Amino acid sequence: MTSNNKNVPRLGVNIDHVATLRQARGENYPSLIQAANTCLASGADQLTIHLREDRRHIQDTDVEAVQLVTKKYGKPLNLEIGCNPSIVEIALTVAPDWICVVPENRQERTTEGGLNLLDQENFDKVLGVCHKLKSNLPNTKISLFLEADEKIIEKALELKNAIDAVEIHTGDYAKNFLDGNEISHFMKAYDRAAKILRNNNIHCHAGHGLTNESVIPLLQSGLFEEYNIGHWIISEALFEGLGNVVKKMKKSFVDVSGEK
Ligand code: PXP
Residue 164 in domain: yes
| Pocket flag, ligand 1, residue 110 (CB < 6 Å) | yes
DSSP characters over 229-251: E-HHHHHHHHHHHHHHHHHHHHH
- Residue 81 near residue 88, CB atoms below 8 Å: yes
| Pocket flag, ligand 1, residue 209 (CB < 6 Å) | yes
User: What pairing do the DSSP bridges indicate for beta strands 10-14 and 46-50?
Assistant: parallel
- The CATH code of the domain that includes 148 is 3.20.20.70
- The pTM for the full model equals 0.95
Distance of alpha carbon 235 from alpha carbon 118, whole angstroms: 35
Residue 7 in domain: no
The Å distance, Cα 12 to ligand 1 centre, comes to 10
Distance of alpha carbon 192 from alpha carbon 195, whole angstroms: 5
| Pocket flag, ligand 1, residue 50 (CB < 6 Å) | yes
Give the residue whose CA is nearest to atom 15 of ligand 1.
Answer: 209
Residue 87 in domain: yes
Bridge-partner residues for 169, per DSSP? 207
Instruction: Convert 212-225 to b/e letters by CB count within 10 Å (16 or more is b).
Output: eebbeebeeeebbb
Closest CA to 64 of 79, 84, 54, 85: 79
DSSP characters over 103-161: ---TT-SS--S---TTSHHHHHHHHHHHHHHHHH-TT-EEEEEE-S-HHHHHHHGGGGG
| Pocket flag, ligand 1, residue 12 (CB < 6 Å) | no
Alpha carbon separation from 73 to 36, 46, 92, 104 (Å, rounded): 10, 10, 22, 30
pLDDT recorded at residue 112: 75
Residue 13 in domain: no
CA quadruple 40, 43, 45, 48: dihedral, nearest 10: -50
The Å distance, Cα 260 to ligand 1 centre, comes to 47
- 98 three-class SS: strand
The Å distance, Cα 208 to ligand 1 centre, comes to 4
pLDDT recorded at residue 4: 60
The Å distance, Cα 238 to ligand 1 centre, comes to 19
Domain count of the chain?
1
Residue 48 in domain: yes
The Å distance, Cα 13 to ligand 1 centre, comes to 9
Question: How do the pLDDT tens digits run along the chain, 260 residues long?
Answer: 555 677 899 999 999 999 999 999 999 999 999 999 999 999 999 999 999 999 999 999 999 999 999 999 999 999 999 999 999 999 999 999 999 999 987 667 777 789 999 999 999 999 999 999 999 999 999 999 999 999 999 999 999 999 999 999 999 999 999 999 999 999 999 999 999 999 999 999 999 999 999 999 999 999 999 999 999 999 999 999 999 999 999 999 999 998 76
Residue 135 in domain: yes
Which residue range is the domain that position 89 belongs to?
18-257
Residue 8 in domain: no
> How far apart, in Å, do the first and last CA atoms of the chain sit?
40
Residue 213 in domain: yes
| Pocket flag, ligand 1, residue 46 (CB < 6 Å) | no
User: What are the catalytic residues?
Assistant: 50, 80, 208
Helices (H) and strands (E) in the chain, counts: 10, 8
Distance of alpha carbon 172 from alpha carbon 210, whole angstroms: 10
Which ligand 1 atom lies nearest to the CA of residue 174?
15
| Pocket flag, ligand 1, residue 145 (CB < 6 Å) | yes
